[in-house]
Structure 1
Amino acid sequence: MIYYVDCSAAAGGDGSENKPFNKIQQAADIAVAGDEVIVSPGLYREYVDPKNAGEEGKPVVYRSAKPRGAHITGAEELKGWTKVEGTVYTARVSNKIFGDYNPYTTLVSGDWFIAYFIAHTGDVYLNGKSMYEVQSLDEVKKAEPSVSAWDTEFSRYKWYAEQDSSTDETVFYANFLGRDPSKDNIEISVRRNGFYPSKEGVGYITLSGFVVSQAATQWAPPTAYQEGMVGPHWSKGWIIEDCEIYESKCSGISLGKYLQPENDNKWLKTKYKDGTQTERDCICQAQVEGWNKENIGSHIVRHCDIHDCGQTGIVGHLGGVFSLIEDNHIHHINNKQNLAGAEIGGIKMHAAIDCIYRRNHIHHCTRGIWLDWQAQGTRVTQNFFHDNIPPQKDGREIKAEIAEDLFIEVSHGPTLVDNNIFLSPRALKLATQGVALVHNIVAGSFTAVGRGCNNGAPNRPSPRYTPYHMKHRTEVAGFMTILHGDCKFYNNIFIQKPICAEFAARMLANAHNDWDDSNFVVGTAPYNNYPTFEEWKAGFEGYCGMGSVTTDRYYSELPVWAGGNLYFNGAKPMSKEADACVNTTDKVEISYEEKNGKIWLKTNLYDFVSSKCKLMKTEDIAPAFEPEQNYENPDGSPIIFDTDFFGKKRGEKPVAGPFADGSEIKDSLF
């Protein structure tokens, strides 16, 4: 059955092509497996709550008739602005418009949220772009720029809201800096979600070609119900494709956790158990509540433009397992810097078991991808990362400790990172183990090697025990602390870019920091003191059972492997890398150029790359230590690294880096 929707149609339609519905929800109430909902271009000011699941091979498909022509928004226009003084105006709205969820009395809150100042889940928008909330009318009048916002000038557009209990209204004040609110499009977010089932288990839905924007979403930590503006709400088999998703207060797409009433923001609410303990609790609870490969995950997010969300572009814990995230453009996430906490990034995923992140362009985010806990069987491949660090301007300090292209945290692996281009000053934060880097260009540093895996108690040991799983399954196989090491580096190209004075000073200041060393020196040198496999193995010679001589062998750093890597401009190999090729003569320049909607890599690198490497295969890489799992495909089949960034085949003797040969530099990356 095909249903038609057109927001310009008269009321009373029956969903036929000649008499379409005028609300998407009318079709969402009745569409079932195998049905398709065709939505005409237009602005749909509604929350769409799909009621019925599809089936494997028979999804319920919601399709915009024109790509990105149908726009679902969580916002409503706010008219009737009157001048207070100068460039400051006020307007009122009845609280009845919000139903049982008022975004202007609901604070952003949750585990791992840092409440530097009060933030509500609602926003005020000037021509589709969210303004900056402050806490008083006086601050609205002052219109001072935010020192941390990436767009300093726009941060002067301020708003403040308060409640008038006598009239049951929300009263808004806004500084439009000389603009006329009667001529501009001024909106407020009134709905919590955009396209998102209210109940769990509504799987096998396809959302294709829509624009979804401006929802008043709540903070989405791994130990709470994780909502998004768009998402499957704890189900299986969704496809979100060819969509533009922007201006969610917190998360654009959630592939996340369901509600566990007795363990929902428990750290914040009860205080007596640390958040990492409540996270372990929620993982174990999920084991007996249907979290498995048969019921949950296996989603696809592809060809989407995801931008200008406050917390994450894509978030998920548990619910995103076995998913494919490919060919997306994810950018300008958390740029307002009005939300802070440990759950921020272009993509922030816990338990990314057998997930693939492929051919994404990720830039201008506070953090590119953050894989936290259980990045087991995870593959990050053929992506381009750049500018994932706050900008330096007006002498402002750069908050470099919260910015890198890829952060892998307290996971046991195997986490495979191959054929990527990393151009941000901090490429990878590696407070983890069980990672293999193969055929990448890395023009940023490794940070937090050997650090960042305890909970920070000042006087007591506080290690974080994190789970590892049965191979290609969700069932927990064990828990262990992070020993560090167990990393492999093959056929990569490391390029040192100039280190500014501020970054150099930061390295000295944080040299002994338990969480982050602020390293900006490119290369594998942070692993200088780690053992080779032969050195590590020697610690187990002879009898090691009960009654043997006590040593630290079971709690020492794991070995590190390296081979076929090239180093330029002063990038430093680790001391035990026997075949490191260090070029101290030639100067490599590397940057990117954007023109006519396309991206090119600008570099002279391949003027100096001629040496050949070994063609790597799964069998050449030692398995991840704790799960004893190979670096392999999700179906368990081996990987041959014979395909480059563009999908071109490599020969038996490839060159290092993500390209089969240097001639590909002339081709646009995207």
Structure 2
Amino acid sequence: MVRGNVIYDCGQNGVVGHMGCAFSLIEGNHIYRIGAKREFFGWEVAAIKMHAAVDTVVRGNRVHDSVLGMWLDWQAQGTVVDSNVFYRNTRDVMTEVTHGPITFMNNVFASEFSFDDYAQGAAFVNNLFAGRIRHTAVLDRSTPYHFPHVTDVAGEAFVYGGDDRYVNNLFLAVDDSAKPLCTADAAGAAGMAEAGTAFFDGYPRSLEEYEQLIEEAGLGDEELYRSVKQPVLLASNAYVSGAKAASGEAEAVVSGDGSSLALRETDDELWMTVSLPESIRSATGPVISTADLGQPRIVEEYFENPDGSPIVVDRDITGAARGACSARGPLAAYGDGEVLIWSK
């Protein structure tokens, strides 16, 4: 358990674990300026960096001004990432060669490069993405997955692309007015990433459609699965300021009007102001739970809490209750003023 700490000016990591982080809680920490001086290079550098975060909960942390906010690598299964705030990082979060389930809910990803996804089997529910997202298949690294809620290995698989769920999220495509301390790592990647979910165009939208595509690929062996992207679920997301929706998304709301995102920070508090056009502000989505998200195609485990109980996203990042239909993104409703989204 890592709770209530202030961690800063570390050269390589703020919080780090490899299998020992399984069944852990990382909560309420303020972590910043990690890797900013470039004492270390490349692999394993992040404010939070974990291999095998099995049934690990990362909740209510404030992470900023770092080379990478959080990096979930290999065997992140049953991981719950809830109500964290990432901002002014070169990249906010990276997932790598893991097969899920990972549940991201009520988070604010406020940097220009919000999410770098080299994984599969994640659910994104009621998050705010202010920047670009990159989604990449990994077909040359077969990595382990587990039986539910234990560290026993059940098998290995490639990352085929897809198998993600995006529901009730808010995509802003707002440039970060205060640039991150480290920009070199993201410079090349930014051109390959984009705001929104349009990179999922051409992916199947159901398991039945996916299975049909596999059958149509003809005779073959495992290599057939490398040629067909896995299905994705996209529903009730909102897109503004140039963020692009994938074609055919159910109940997408898209606005070309402008929006803005501002953060006001003290040592002990972080406040957020979001300005949205009325069509986005009034867009709602249902309360999402484990029952809505199914299982990752490869891993036979539901998007649930580490103790096996259902996840129900019925509160927002502030703890406010969500009604049967609430706003999209991390707040249950959007007003005109500041909202306290993190406090020590």
TM-score surpassing 0.5?
A: yes
1:523 to 192, 196, 206: 196
- Judge conservation of contact 1:606–1:662 (CA < 8 Å) in 2: no
Cα offset, 1:663, TM superposition: 4.1
Matched residue, 1:200 = none
Distance 1:606 1:635, change over 3 A: farther
What is the rounded CA distance, in whole Å, between the counterparts of 1:611 and 1:517 in structure 2?
Answer: 29
Q: Which amino acid aligns with 1:611?
A: A
- Judge conservation of contact 2:131–2:175 (CA < 8 Å) in 1: no
Q: Which amino acid aligns with 1:332?
A: R
SS at match of 1:620: helix
Deviations, residues 281-311 of structure 1 (Å, cap 9, x unaligned): xxxxxxxxxxxxxxxxxxx110000111110
- Judge conservation of contact 1:376–1:412 (CA < 8 Å) in 2: yes
What is the rounded CA distance, in whole Å, between the counterparts of 2:70 and 2:28 in structure 1?
Answer: 14
What is the rounded CA distance, in whole Å, between the counterparts of 1:307 and 1:499 in structure 2?
Answer: 21
Cα offset, 1:518, TM superposition: 3.8
Relative contact order higher in (CA < 8 Å, ≥ 6 apart): 2
Q: Which amino acid aligns with 1:480?
A: A
What is the rounded CA distance, in whole Å, between the counterparts of 2:337 and 2:153 in structure 1?
Answer: 44
Q: Which amino acid aligns with 1:624?
A: P
Distance 1:410 1:517, change over 3 A: farther
Deviations, residues 192-251 of structure 1 (Å, cap 9, x unaligned): xxxxxxxxxxxxxxxxxxxxxxxxxxxxxxxxxxxxxxxxxxxxxxxxxxxxxxxxxxxx
Matched residue, 1:372 = 73
What is the rounded CA distance, in whole Å, between the counterparts of 1:610 and 1:442 in structure 2?
Answer: 18
1:609 to 270, 274, 281: 281
What is the rounded CA distance, in whole Å, between the counterparts of 2:42 and 2:119 in structure 1?
Answer: 20
- Judge conservation of contact 1:367–1:405 (CA < 8 Å) in 2: yes
Consecutive unaligned residues of structure 2, counting only runs of 5 or more, are 178-183
Q: Which amino acid aligns with 1:610?
A: S
Written as runs of structure 1 = structure 2, the 5 A alignment for 1:253-652 is: 300-389=1-90, 404-447=91-134, 449-451=135-137, 453=138, 463-498=140-175, 516=189, 518-533=191-206, 534-539=208-213, 549-550=219-220, 553-555=224-226, 556-584=228-256, 586-595=257-266, 597-605=268-276, 607=278, 608-652=280-324
What is the rounded CA distance, in whole Å, between the counterparts of 2:310 and 2:102 in structure 1?
Answer: 14
SS at match of 1:537: helix
- Judge conservation of contact 1:523–1:573 (CA < 8 Å) in 2: yes
Q: Which amino acid aligns with 1:570?
A: G
Cα offset, 1:549, TM superposition: 3.2
Deviations, residues 313-335 of structure 1 (Å, cap 9, x unaligned): 01110111000000000001011
- Judge conservation of contact 2:112–2:175 (CA < 8 Å) in 1: no
Cα offset, 1:554, TM superposition: 2.9
1:656 to 294, 305, 328: 328
- Judge conservation of contact 1:412–1:433 (CA < 8 Å) in 2: yes
Consecutive unaligned residues of structure 1, counting only runs of 5 or more, are 1-299, 390-403, 455-462, 501-505, 511-515
SS at match of 2:211: helix
- Judge conservation of contact 1:532–1:576 (CA < 8 Å) in 2: no
- Judge conservation of contact 1:495–1:567 (CA < 8 Å) in 2: yes
Written as runs of structure 1 = structure 2, the 5 A alignment for 1:2-41 is: none
SS at match of 2:38: coil
What is the rounded CA distance, in whole Å, between the counterparts of 1:580 and 1:354 in structure 2?
Answer: 31
TM-score, normalised via structure 2 length: 0.90
**Superposed structure 1 runs of 4+ greater than 4 Å apart:** none
SS at match of 2:325: coil
Cα offset, 1:580, TM superposition: 1.4
- Judge conservation of contact 2:88–2:176 (CA < 8 Å) in 1: no
Matched residue, 1:8 = none
**C-alpha RMSD over aligned residues:** 2.3
Cα offset, 1:603, TM superposition: 2.1
- Judge conservation of contact 1:445–1:519 (CA < 8 Å) in 2: no
What is the rounded CA distance, in whole Å, between the counterparts of 2:267 and 2:13 in structure 1?
Answer: 27
Task: From the CA coordinates, give the structure whose radius of gyration is larger.
Answer: 1
What is the rounded CA distance, in whole Å, between the counterparts of 1:324 and 1:606 in structure 2?
Answer: 37
Deviations, residues 582-633 of structure 1 (Å, cap 9, x unaligned): 012x311112112474321122137541122121111111211211211001
Higher strand share: 2
What is the rounded CA distance, in whole Å, between the counterparts of 2:123 and 2:265 in structure 1?
Answer: 30
- Judge conservation of contact 2:147–2:300 (CA < 8 Å) in 1: no
Cα offset, 1:524, TM superposition: 0.7
What is the rounded CA distance, in whole Å, between the counterparts of 2:268 and 2:20 in structure 1?
Answer: 34
SS at match of 2:291: helix
- Judge conservation of contact 1:333–1:366 (CA < 8 Å) in 2: yes
SS at match of 1:550: coil
- Judge conservation of contact 2:255–2:277 (CA < 8 Å) in 1: no
Written as runs of structure 1 = structure 2, the 5 A alignment for 1:228-243 is: none
Cα offset, 1:576, TM superposition: 3.4
- Judge conservation of contact 2:258–2:277 (CA < 8 Å) in 1: no
* Identical aligned residues as a percent: 38
TM-score, normalised via structure 1 length: 0.47
